[in-house]
Amino acid sequence: MPKKITATQSQGRDFAQIRLSGHAAAMEFGINKETFLKRAKQLGVLPGEDNKWSISDAAKVKFTSYEVERSRKMKADADISEHTARELQGELIQRQAVMDFCEGLAVIIRQKILGSTMPDNEKDEILKETSNLLDEGIITKRTCSPKCGVGAGQDIPASTKAKD
């Protein structure tokens, strides 16, 4: 197994390489020791045989994590901006608007069924099935499914129709 280099040479002189324990590295870079160790493990930046990190490896742990977090935040901000733009362009319908529409439609259908001349047992059957549809959230599950690329609680693309 090759021996780890612990000194560097510059202009003919040897300089000891600075090595930091997890605690020292965390303090040097202003983060919690457990956070430093967790990030190092996630990034695959492991300590040397002496159970210490070089300054460059410790910096990778600190700043690579920062870049990953910064990138995640930028993506989230871009997603929000895109969502807002689609909403302003009328490409999305608010989930609550769909729910309100369905509830209003259910009231109208119920009134029409109750006022019809069909036998009471047929009225009861239709009303029960309609109620089950709304109670189970079938309509919102179909309109907020992976088929249209949105999930429950999100806005619904205006051009999307439920497909069976």
The structural domains of the chain, ordered by start, are 7-80 (1.10.1660), 92-157 (no CATH)
Of 28, 109, 16, 23, whose CA–CA distance to 62 is shortest? Answer: 28
Question: How large is the angle between the packed helices 33-43 and 55-88, nearest 10 degrees?
Answer: 80
How far apart, in whole angstroms, are the C-alpha atoms of residue 67 and residue 69? Answer: 5
**pLDDT digits over 5-56, tens only?**
444 555 566 667 888 898 998 888 888 899 888 888 888 888 988 989 888 8
Evaluate if residue 99 carries a pLDDT over 60: yes
- The reported pTM is 0.37
Of 141, 132, 150, whose CA–CA distance to 82 is shortest? Answer: 150
